[in-house]
A = this chain, B = another copy of it.
Amino acid sequence: MLNSTSLIAEARTKLEGYLLKKGLRRSSERFAILEEVYSRDDHFDAEELYQAMHQRSFAVSRATVYNTLEVLVDCHLVRKNQFGDEDNTKSRFEKSLGRQQHAHLICVNCHRVMEFCDPRLQLIKNTVGNMLQFHVESHSLVFYGECSDAACVARTKAAAEHANLQEGKTA
């Protein structure tokens, strides 16, 4: 298992190789954004990354954030997710180097994101490719449900009771 220091070093090297191969420029913004991405362990959106870069006093524009995230996704240093939970319109990103593909669990109440690996998914992937003559490149598996975090459960229960009262009134 790689520690986070060598992980970022490996990521930097990989990005460098990719940029050279593609004839893209090794701008300081690209490496600074990579640094920020690899310093985080969460599933962040473009705006959060933008804000974090500003707090880290390496201010980049939103355009550069979006542009660079696309580059990082292209060279497989970042994975892009579309979780269809509360905010169906924005993408969430995570670093990918040294981390195997995993499923995501989204709590429909508190929007917490959890991760889960299951080797059976790989078997399904193989079957689907063969059956439908489809060359599978990647996948996304998301489970939606209710997490067991105490605060979330309490909040949800209270909200449900409130909703029942409302329903009782109108029905």
Contacts and interface: CB of A to CB of B under 8 A. Distances in A.
Given A143-B128, A171-B23, A134 B118 contact: no
Interface residues of A, number: 47
A141 interface: yes
Contact of A137 (B137, B139, B140, B145): B145
Given A84-B80, A167-B22, A127 B118 contact: yes
Interface of A: 21-23, 80-84, 88-89, 91, 103, 105, 107-108, 114, 116, 118, 120-121, 123-125, 127-129, 131-148, 167, 170-171
22 contacts: A21-B171, A22-B171, A82-B84, A82-B88, A84-B140, A105-B134, A107-B134, A108-B137, A116-B131, A118-B124, A118-B127, A120-B120, A124-B141, A129-B143, A133-B147, A134-B147, A137-B144, A137-B146, A138-B143, A138-B145, A139-B143, A140-B140
